[in-house]
Structure 1
Amino acid sequence: MNRSVAITGIGVVAPGGVGKKAFWDLLVSGRTATRTISFFDPSRFRSQVAAEVDFDPQRSGLSPREARRLDRAAQFAVVSARECMADSGLEFVELDPHRTGVSVGSAVGGTTGLEREYLVLSDSGRLWEVDSDYVSPHLFDAFVPSSLAAEVAWTVGAEGPATVVSTGCTSGLDSVGYARDLIAEGTVDVMIAGAADTPISPIAVSCFDAIKATTPRNDDPEHASRPFDRTRNGFVLAEGAAMFVLEELEHARARGAHVYGVIGGYATRCNAYHMTGLRPDGHEMAEAIRHSLDQARLNPDLVDYVNAHGSGTKQNDRHETAAFKETLGQHAYEVPISSIKSMVGHSLGAIGSIEIAACALAMENGAVPPTANLHEPDPECDLDYVPNEAREHGVDAVLSVGSGFGGFQSAMVITREETTR
């Protein structure tokens, strides 16, 4: 791969605010967007907190027909895609549509729409035999995850590759990594890439309840997500989306585009070990980190910021800490590391892309977002996890990592400019 890939547009729909500015303002303030679930009555569930998006489809630019037709995840994807397109300044009508593609990540696709329609058809589960006359004509789009990519492709006018990547909680990293590879190998020149997930629904909440992955800290929602803290006891479910314009670097330079960063390296691994369990040594994540650094030709001690997966489960945070020590050596103790899930929760397949947005904006603004709610550091997590307050810090190279159910481990390196260091 000899073509460099630039990020030239960012769009975000996240808890705490719609749009990249509101998202960044939340992060640098150290505020949390976690609260008691308001979408339905959560009282029967073990975990009753989530990071919800205050989202009005029509205020966000969707027509009443689009709002009716699109599942919530698709709405998020389209709105964030429109923002990143506008942010890039790229005239998509002037592009070769066959060299423009789409890559969208999602872990649970149209869960919100599917559950809503099931409740209508079954009269909230009362009926075993249902009357198809009551079904929405748009149910099929929620049932088929590929509709996410199709909707974004129609929005952009892209006629090149259109793909949905679903690798659990690494989907948002992997979808952008896949798009980067397509540009680097010369298949396309421009990709709209990112992820969207809207899993705050009774079925998703009950699934995570069953395995005790989410926090039961219901009496203090704002402080429920506590990555790397000794008192952490599970993650906070969330929703959201982030989309990017990726283009070949010379293509971007030729049109005078603003470049947020260059995706220098990307790698993914599977531990082939356990559906939800992680080995404490962090070896698989370390392998992904090492390979992404090698691709970027970046010395580990030149990483300026690490955006951690930092879910707030006991095993994940120990696993990551070990992986950082294995790959970064002594520099692991010196580089600032943080988890934005402490503020915006864990939006499953979407969070990897939302974290890429945080990385690009950290480079843009010369600041590192904090790990909120980190008051009692776990002695086993003894690195610089930037507790509670954002930190001014020059950022020229970022490492972002993700870990997903199924054993997926992914890492991406983003640099300010195309350099070999």
Structure 2
Amino acid sequence: MRGRRVVITGIEVLAPGGIGAKSFWSLLSEGRTATRGITFFDPAPFRSRVAAEIDFDPEEHGLRPQEIRRMDRAAQFAVVAARGAVEDSGIELDELDPYRIGVTIGSAVGATMGLDDEYRVVSDGGRLDLVDHHYAVPHLYNHLVPSSFATEVAWAVGAEGPSTVVSTGCTSGIDSVGHAVELIREGTADVVIAGSSDAPISPITMACFDAIKATTPRHDEPERASRPFDNTRNGFVLGEGAAVFVLEELESARRRGAHIYAEIAGYATRSNAYHMTGLRPDGLEMAEAIRVALDEARMDPTEIDYINAHGSGTKQNDRHETAAFKKSLGDHAYRTPVSSIKSMVGHSLGAIGSIEIAASALAMEHNVVPPTANLQTPDPECDLDYVPVTARDQLTDAVLSVGSGFGGFQSAIVLARPERSPA
């Protein structure tokens, strides 16, 4: 059921190489990469030693010392992005009924950096078998429960309506926005601050991905380490970041003269019920999510002008996606430009889905398709138009963005210009 139509009226992004939506778009449109050798800790013991880090000073972005002490890095990202999205939208939240303002924040791994840091302290660098809790920060519990992310954002914007954290692995950033859309469509909320945040670049996360050899060991040229759809790829590059949106009902946005980036016309999620990390090569579950999202949007596959791919840079994922696009879009898949921004900003786990939605909306805003950086030697099994190296001018009225997550999650979301999407 479509119900009320939902649009994006505010965007803020914190991404490697580009804090703020304008800087983020500049990075993407210029095809620059923000992957580098890890600087947050000594990466020498690890197989993969590259990441896409953000040069982020919380004080420079308006966080008070008490907030910095209380919040994990990912929560700080979420709050800064939420405030920026509200400012971008021009909406006066204090003039609205606070019970009609909701929050949905996605995160795959929660306060990983905070927990990692605090364990190091209470265990005296890992030397104590029985940790000493007296050395923990007073707000350690907030690091344990990801729900604190939604709480912090709700406090920051004065939202007293439904407040939720969505944690579905690497599709969290799409699913949190999809959930927010449903809250508005069904009439539970009029405005929702929605998005996702993750800051997973820590020793424990690197060790986890090392164990399954999912991340790249390409250390000699970190700026070219992330190579989605390239035949020389050998794993993804871990990243961090956040993107948050102001979502509101279309007619309300029009009445207040808001700038509308895009309508969220359709959304769907499916599970492959198959394997924790494995994917079937036929891409059937992702194709089904795409089909349902297009049906909800009341759009034909031929109306899609651009696909923002999950494009993690693993052979399994890239081939799975390619099959899903062919299955869901038919011959139109061969005529549709596709790209992966993970080639430039890495894979920020639960945050990346929202960051990719931001990229999709900005692609529509500028009628430019961002490139897949580092795509020099295409995988012959990935034979679609993956827009290598350089951005492309492209009239873009409708975008499909997809995500694939450990556990079998497959999600798809369709953005369209409101005047194009059926009422």
Mapping 1:44-123, distance limit 5 Å: 44-123=45-124
Q: Does the CA-based 8 Å contact 1:4-1:418 persist in structure 2?
A: no
Q: Please tell me whether residue 186 in structure 1 is matched to residue 187 in structure 2.
A: yes
**Does the aligned pair in 2 maintain the 1:51–1:345 contact within 8 Å?**
yes
Cα contact 1:262–1:418 (8 A) shared by 2? no
Query: For residues 170 and 108 of structure 1, what CA distance do their matches in structure 2 show?
Result: 12
- 2:12 and 2:243 in contact (8 A); partners too: yes
Q: CA deviation at 1:253?
A: 0.7
CA contact (8 A) 1:10 1:87 kept: yes
Within 5 Å, give how 1:166-181 maps onto structure 2: 166-181=167-182
2:20 is matched with 19
Which amino acid in 2 is paired with 1:386?
V
Deviations 1:367-399 (A, max 9, x none): 010000000000000000000000111110000
Q: Find the counterpart in structure 1 of residue 391 from structure 2.
A: 390
- Give a deviation string over 1:176-212, Cα, whole Å, max 9, x none: 0000011011111000000000000000000000000
Supply the distance in 2 between the matched residues of 1:376 and 1:151 (Cα, whole angstroms): 44
Instruction: Note closer, same or farther for the CA distance 1:22–1:420 as it changes in structure 2 (3 Å cut).
Output: closer
Q: Is the 8 A contact 2:106 2:165 kept in 1?
A: yes
Partners of 1:300 and 1:136 in 2: CA distance: 52
Report the 3-state secondary structure (helix = DSSP H, G, I; strand = E; otherwise coil) of the residue aligned with 1:209. Answer: helix
Q: Distance in 2 between matches of 1:28 and 1:417?
A: 24
Cα shift at 1:419: 3.3
- Give the Cα separation in 2 of the matches to 1:212 and 1:295: 37
The alpha-carbon deviation at position 418 of structure 1 amounts to: 4.2
Q: Does the alignment pair 1:263 with 2:264?
A: yes
Deviation, 1:417, is 1.4
Name the structure 2 match of 1:298.
Answer: 299
Deviations 1:204-246 (A, max 9, x none): 0000000000011111100000000001110000000000000
Q: Deviations over 1:232-270 (max 9, x none)?
A: 110000000000000011110110100000000000000
Normalised by the length of structure 1, the TM-score is 0.99
- Displacement after TM superposition at 1:130 (Å): 2.2
Aligned mates of 1:339, 1:420 — CA distance in 2: 25
Q: Which amino acid aligns with 1:305?
A: Y
Q: CA deviation at 1:86?
A: 0.1
Deviation at 1:282, TM superposition (A): 0.2
Residue 36 of structure 1 corresponds to 37
Identity %: 72
Corresponding residue pairs, total: 421
Matches within 5 A, 1:331-342: 331-342=332-343
Cα-to-partner distance string for 1:262-283 (whole Å, 9 max, x where unaligned): 0000000000000000000000
Deviation at 1:63, TM superposition (A): 1.3
Are the equivalent residues in 2 in contact too, given 1:286–1:324 (CA < 8 A)? yes
Please name the residue that 1:160 is paired with: 161
- Which deviations, in whole Å up to 9, do the C-alpha atoms of 1:79-111 show, x marking residues without a partner? 000100000000010011111100000000001
- Give the Cα separation in 2 of the matches to 1:280 and 1:272: 14
The 5 Å alignment of 1:300-315 reads 300-315=301-316
Matching residue of 1:380: 381
For 1:403 and 1:170, the matched residues in 2 are separated by 6
Aligned counterparts of 1:139 and 1:338: Cα–Cα separation in 2: 39
Q: Which amino acid aligns with 1:344?
A: V
Aligned positions of 1:120-131 closer than 5 A:
120-131=121-132
Check the 8 A contact 2:15/2:54 in 1, yes or no: yes
SS at match of 1:6: strand
Counterpart code for 1:391: R
Q: Which amino acid aligns with 1:262?
A: E
C-alpha deviation, 1:131, in angstroms: 2.0
Instruction: Name the amino acid aligned to 2:204.
Output: I
Answer yes or no: is the 8 Å Cα contact 2:397–2:420 preserved in 1: no
| Residue pair 2:11, 2:358 contacting (<8 A) in 1 also | yes
Distance 1:206 1:414 in 2: 36
2:208 aligns with 207
Give the letter aligned to residue 148 of structure 2: S
- What is the rounded CA distance, in whole Å, between the counterparts of 2:107 and 2:134 in structure 1? 29
Task: Provide the C-alpha distance between the structure 2 equivalents of 1:130 and 1:224, rounded to a whole number of angstroms.
Answer: 38
Matches within 5 A, 1:321-360: 321-360=322-361
Matches of 2:165 and 2:421, distance apart in 1 = 32
Unmatched runs of 5 consecutive residues or more in structure 2? none
Structure 1 contact 102–179 (Cα < 8 Å) conserved: yes
Q: For 1:130 and 1:327, how far apart are their aligned partners in 2?
A: 52
Q: Any idea what the Cα deviations from partners look like across 1:99-141, whole Å, max 9, x if unmatched?
A: 1100000000001000100000101100112222211001111
Question: Residues 300-343 of structure 1, C-alpha deviation per residue, up to 9 Å, x if partnerless?
Answer: 01101000000000100000000000111111111110000000
Structure 2 match to 1:407? 408
TM-score by length of 2: 0.99
What root-mean-square deviation, in Å, do the aligned CA atoms of Structure 1 and Structure 2 show? 0.7
Q: Spell out structure 1 runs of 4+ moving beyond 2 A.
A: 418-421
